[in-house]
Amino acid sequence: MDRADIVHENFLRRVAGRDLPAGRPPEGPLTAAGAAEIFRAACVSRALDRQSRVMQRAGQGFYTIGSSGHEGMAAVAQALRPGDMAFLHYRDAAFQIARSRQVPGQDMAWDMLLSFAASSEDPISGGRHKVLGSKRLSIPPQTSTIASHLPKAVGAAYSIGAARRWRPEHAVLADDGLVFASFGDASANHSTAQGAFNTAQWTAYQGVPLPLLFCCEDNGIGISTKTPPGWIAASFGNRPGLDYFACDGLDIFDSFRTAQRAADVVRARRKPAFLHIRTIRLYGHAGADVPTTYLPRDEVEAEEAQDPLLHMVRQLDQAGALTPDQALQVYTETAAEVARLAERAVTRPRLRTAAGVMAALIPPKRACAPSNGPDAAAREAAFGSDLKQMAEPQPMARLITWALTDLMLDHREIVVMGEDVGRKGGVYGVTQKLQQRFGADRVIDTLLDEQSILGLAIGMAQNGFCPMPEIQFLAYLHNAEDQLRGEAATLPFFSNGQFSNPMVLRIAGLGYQKGFGGHFHNDNSVAVLRDIPGLILACPSSGADAVRMLRTCVRLAREEQRVVVFLEPIALYPMRDLHAEKDGGWMTLYPDRAEVIAQGEVGVHGAGDDLAIISFGNGTYLSRQAEPALVDAGIKARIIDLRWLSPLPKAALSRAVEGARHILIVDETRQSGGVAEALMAHFVEAAPGVPLARLTAEDSFIATGPAYAATLPSRDGIVAAATALINR
Ligand SMILES: Cc1ncc(C[n+]2csc(CCOP(=O)(O)OP(=O)(O)O)c2C)c(N)n1
Ligand SMILES: [Mg+2]
C-alpha cells in the first residue's frame, strides 16, 4: 500500500479509537477558534497531497511533492499578516491555505487543484507548474532550486526600510510589514542560504533595518541524507544579529506562540530572526520516492505515528475547539470536497502551444508616473563642475557616470548597489561621485557576495525600486548567475506575469585590458546570458551609445518590467583615440538628454557594399581601426555595431546588411558558445548565398602580460579575414 494511504488509514483508525499521540497540552494565545482554523487548513493541505497522487495515477496531475508532516506551518501563517511577503519552501501548502483563510474571497483548494492539473486557469502560474504562490496573498512563486529564494528575501526585507525613507510608486510592502522566508533543514546548509543568513546578519549587525523572519522546517532529512541531530540548533542558536526561536511543529499552540513572538521581535525591532520549527516528513520526499528503500521500516512507522494531524485532534479536544468526532468529520468532508473539486479541475483547459507557454516570458508593461526631470538648479547641484566638461568629448567611463547621474535625478526609485560602488566609485570610477550626489541609501556599498547583490536587487525590485546592481567583473557573475537565470528571469514566467523584478544589471567585462588581469578580469564569454529567455543583453561600443542605450535599458526596466544586462567593455572605458595618439577619435560628447537608442536598433558606420562587418564592443572599435587598411586594399566596407546581443536584433541586422556582397562577423567572445554562432546561423537563414565568415576569439582563457590579446581578434586579423573572404 502507498504510504499516503497508510497514513490516511492510521488517521481514521486512531481518531475513531481515541488513540491519539501524547504531547503537551494547549498553551498560549492561540484561541480555540484559531486552532480550529489551523486544523481546517491542515486538512485541506493533507487532502490535496493525497489528491495529487490520485491525479497523477490518472495521468491528470504532473507533480506530487507534498506538505504532509509540515501542516504545523499553518500556525506560523496564522501568526503573520497576509501582506507579509512570504518566500515559501515547497512544503508550505498548509501555510498558504491558512493565509488564504485570512483574506476574503479565496478558494485555495480550487486554485491549487488547477495548478496540479496544469490548467491554464491556475491563478499563479497559468498552468506552467505545480507551484505555490498567490499575488493576492503576497506569495511570489519559487523555483525548486534549493535556497535560491533566500537572497531576494533579504533584499525584499531591506526594501521595507528603504521604502519607509522614500516610497516608490510601485511599492507593495507595508511600512510595518515583514518578509518571511522558509526552507528545509538540508537546504539551510546550501552556500546560497548561508550567504543570505550572513548578509542578513551583516546588515543587522550594523543597525540597518531588516525585518526578515527565516523559518527552517526541520524534518531531519533531505531526500535520503539525514541532518545530524541537533545541527540546526547548534548552528543557528547563537549567531550575531540573528535571534533564534525554536518550536515544535507538531504542537500548533507552541508554533503559533513562538512564531508570534518571533514576528513581534522582527516587526518591532526590524531585525532578522530565525524560527526553527520541528516537522516530520510523511510519505518520503516526493511522489516516486519510497522512504523504506533507505530508512528502516520501523523508523518510517514511528514517524507516521507522530502525524501532526493526530496531534492537532488531541489538542483541539483538549482546548475545547473540536471533539475528535467533529475533527474526523472536518477531515473526511474536506477530503470529499477536494475530490469533488478535482473532478472539475481536470476538465479545465490546459496550455497546449508554444505561444501559450511563452506568453509570460515577458512581463506586462506598467504605467509609470511621468517624470519631468530635475530642474536646472537640481542638475547643477548634482553635476557641479562636471557640467562644464560636458562641452568636450569624453571617454566612455565618464559618460556612463553622467548618464547614471541624470537617470538617478530623473527617477528617484533607481538604486545602485555593488562592491565598492559607493565610497570608491567603482574599480574603474564609473560610479564615482554617485554616493556623494545621491547618498548611501541610493548608492549602496554591499558586502562581498554577488548572490547577495543580485538578491538585494531582486528583492528591492519586487517592492517597486528600480535596481541597478553592478557586478565588478564578468568573471564574478558566474558564482551568482542562478540569481539571474533561475530567479530574476523566471519570475514573470511562472507567475504568469503577476510578479516581476525589473532591473538593469551593469557588468564590467570582456577582454583587451593591456597586460592587466588575465582571465580573472578579462572574461570574454557571455554564453550564460545569451540563452536566458526574456533577458535583454546590451553592449555598447562608444560612450555616446552607452548613454543612449542605458536610457533605453532603464526605460525597459521601469516601464516594461524587464531584466536587462548592460555589459560594459572595460577596455573601452578610458579609450580616447582611434587611429593615432591624441586623435581623440573614440571620445564622444554627452548626448542630449532626450536622445536614446531603441532596443534592437543597430549602429551603421559607412555604406560600402563590398563588405558588411558585424561586431560589437571592442570588436567594433577594432573594426573601425581596420577601416583605413580596408580602404587601402580597395574594400568598401560598412561596420555594423550590434549593440543588442540578446535577443538578436534580426530585423535591423537584415536591413543593415542589405546590398552587402560579403558578411564578416568579428566576435571577441569565444568561438564555442560565442555571439558569432548565433549571427552565423541568422545570416545562413536570412541572407542565403551571401559569402559569410567569422573571426572570433580562440577557445581559450585570456593570458596576462604581453599575450593579453593573443587569443582575441585584432585589427590586422580583421583586415586579413576581410581580404580572405573577398578573395574566396
Ligand atoms: C540547488 C539544488 N540542489 C539539489 C536539489 C535537489 N533537491 C530537491 S529537495 C532536496 C532536499 C531538500 O531537503 P530539505 O531542505 O531538508 O527539505 P525537505 O524536502 O526535507 O522539506 C534536494 C537535494 C535542488 N532542488 N536544488
Ligand atoms: Mg528536510
Ligand 1, atom 17, lies closest to the CA of: 184
**Residue 469 burial by CB count (10 A; 0-12/13-18/19+): exposed, middle or buried?**
buried
Which one has a higher pLDDT value, 63 or 169? Answer: 169
649: pLDDT strictly greater than 80: yes
- Starting from the CA of residue 70, give the closest ligand: 1
The x, y and z cell numbers of residue 69, run together, are 508532516
Sign of the dihedral through C-alpha 260, 266, 268, 269: positive
pLDDT of 117: 97
Dist. CA 165–CA 178, nearest whole Å: 16
* DSSP 8-class letter at 306: T
Atom of ligand 1 nearest to the CA of 70: 21
pLDDT of 519: 86
Element (H, E) at 180: strand 179-184
Arithmetic mean of pLDDT, 406-430: 97
Buried b (16+ CB within 10 A) or exposed e, 101-124: bbeeebebbbbbbbbbbbbbebbb
Predicted confidence (pLDDT) per residue in 548-601, tens digit: 999 999 999 999 999 999 999 999 999 999 999 999 999 999 999 999 999 999
Dist. CA 360–CA 493, nearest whole Å: 5
Distance 146 CA to ligand 1 centre (A): 6
- Give, to the nearest 10 degrees, the angle between helix 308-319 and helix 324-345: 130
Ligand 1, atom 20, lies closest to the CA of: 222
Atom of ligand 1 nearest to the CA of 217: 21
Arithmetic mean of pLDDT, 125-152: 96
Task: Cell 587598411: give the residue.
Answer: 629
Arithmetic mean of pLDDT, 402-417: 98
Task: Cell 565618464: give the residue.
Answer: 398
What does residue 525 show for φ and ψ, rounded to 5 degrees? -125, 130
Predicted confidence (pLDDT) per residue in 227-264, tens digit: 999 999 999 999 999 999 999 999 999 999 999 999 99
pLDDT of 373: 85
Per-residue H/E/C for 585-651: CCCECCCCCCCCCCCCCCEEECCCCCEEEEECHHHHHHHHHHHHHHHHCCCCEEEEECCEEECCCHH
pLDDT of 520: 86
Dist. CA 726–CA 158, nearest whole Å: 58
Q: Name residues contacting ligand 1 (CB within 6 A).
A: 91, 144-146, 184-187, 217, 219, 221-223, 281, 285
Dist. CA 467–CA 561, nearest whole Å: 11
Atom of ligand 1 nearest to the CA of 145: 26
Element (H, E) at 310: helix 308-319
Predicted confidence (pLDDT) per residue in 16-73, tens digit: 999 999 999 999 999 999 999 999 999 999 999 999 999 999 999 988 899 999 999 9
Dist. CA 217–CA 183, nearest whole Å: 6
Instruction: From 146, 218, 295, give the residue whose CB has the most ligand 1 atoms within 8 Å, as the site to mutate.
Output: 146
Confidence of residue 455 (pLDDT cuts 50, 70, 90): very high
Task: Cell 534580426: give the residue.
Answer: 650
pLDDT of 517: 83
Instruction: Work out the end-to-end distance of the chain between its first and last CA atoms, rounded to an integer number of angstroms.
Output: 72
pLDDT of 608: 97
Whether 211 and 157 have beta carbons less than 8 Å apart is answered as yes
Quote the mean pLDDT of the chain.
97
The x, y and z cell numbers of residue 695, run together, are 573571426
**Residue 385 burial by CB count (10 A; 0-12/13-18/19+): exposed, middle or buried?**
exposed
Confidence of residue 372 (pLDDT cuts 50, 70, 90): confident
515: pLDDT strictly greater than 80: no
Distance 345 CA to ligand 2 centre (A): 30
- Residues constituting the chain: 728
Atom of ligand 1 nearest to the CA of 183: 15
Instruction: From 223, 280, 294, give the residue whose CB has the most ligand 1 atoms within 8 Å, as the site to mutate.
Output: 223
